């Protein structure tokens, strides 16, 4: 499990990820980036894209308004997400590698960005493994048909996101 140290004052949040944690985060981030970057996601990832970019107008009679909204903001929203995910991958890649894992130093802005990216990663994995809103709880143990590893990784990302939020609000 990751090790978190938060230095007071202007010092950064130091996060040490094990090598497998860092690799899993990067793999899922790259997979999420592929969905974000493509207006036409690969087969099976349409639901992920819909979860990352939900409809603004839920009323089916408002399809014209939805189309206009998406045409106006979709590319900007995708670019903002892609930039954040790319920075996230870069921060892990450029972290200090040691026998303990990868130490990543995050300032407040980077930690805030990580919270958003981890949320996107959780949405991606959660959609792929069938997590519903009622199941989106780290204590929920019955995500049907999902391997123990996927459940554990989803729960771990939830924990990591909560830890980052807690550290930023101290």
pLDDT in tens, 44-91: 888 998 898 887 888 888 888 878 877 787 888 889 999 999 999 999
Give the residue, 3 or 156, on which the prediction is more confident: 156
Burial of 12 (0-12, 13-18, 19+ CB in 10 A): middle
pLDDT in tens, 82-141: 999 999 999 999 999 999 899 999 998 999 999 999 999 999 999 999 887 664 454 454
Residue indicated by tokens 């010092």: 11
pLDDT in tens, 12-56: 888 999 999 999 999 999 999 999 998 888 888 889 988 988 878
> Model's pTM, two decimal places?
0.83
pLDDT for 2: 60
Which residues span the domain enclosing 64?
3-168
- Burial annotation 88-118 (CB, 10 A radius, 16+ → b, else e): bbebbeebeeeeebbebebeeebbebbbebb
Query: Which stretches of the chain are DSSP H helices?
Result: 19-37, 46-52, 63-93, 108-129, 148-168
Is beta strand 13-17 parallel, antiparallel or unpaired with respect to 101-106?
antiparallel
Count structural domains, the chain.
Answer: 1
């Amino acid at each position: 499990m990751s090790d978190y140290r938060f230095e007071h004052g202007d010092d950064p949040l130091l996060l040490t990820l094990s090598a497998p944690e860092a690799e899993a985060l990067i793999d899922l981030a790259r997979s999420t980036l592929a969905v974000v970057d493509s207006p036409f996601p690969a087969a099976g990832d349409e639901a992920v894209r819909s979860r990352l970019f939900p409809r603004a107008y839920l009323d089916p009679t408002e399809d014209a308004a939805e189309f206009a909204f998406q045409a106006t903001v979709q590319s900007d929203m995708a670019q903002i997400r892609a930039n954040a995910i790319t920075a996230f991958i870069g921060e892990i890649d450029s972290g200090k590698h040691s026998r303990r894992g990868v130490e990543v130093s995050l300032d407040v802005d980077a930690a805030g960005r990580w919270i958003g990216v981890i949320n996107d990663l959780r949405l991606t994995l959660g959609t792929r493994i069938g997590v519903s809103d009622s199941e989106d709880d780290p204590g929920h143990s019955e995500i049907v048909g999902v391997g123990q590893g996927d459940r554990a990784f989803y729960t771990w990302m939830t924990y990591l996101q909560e830890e980052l939020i807690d550290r930023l609000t101290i």
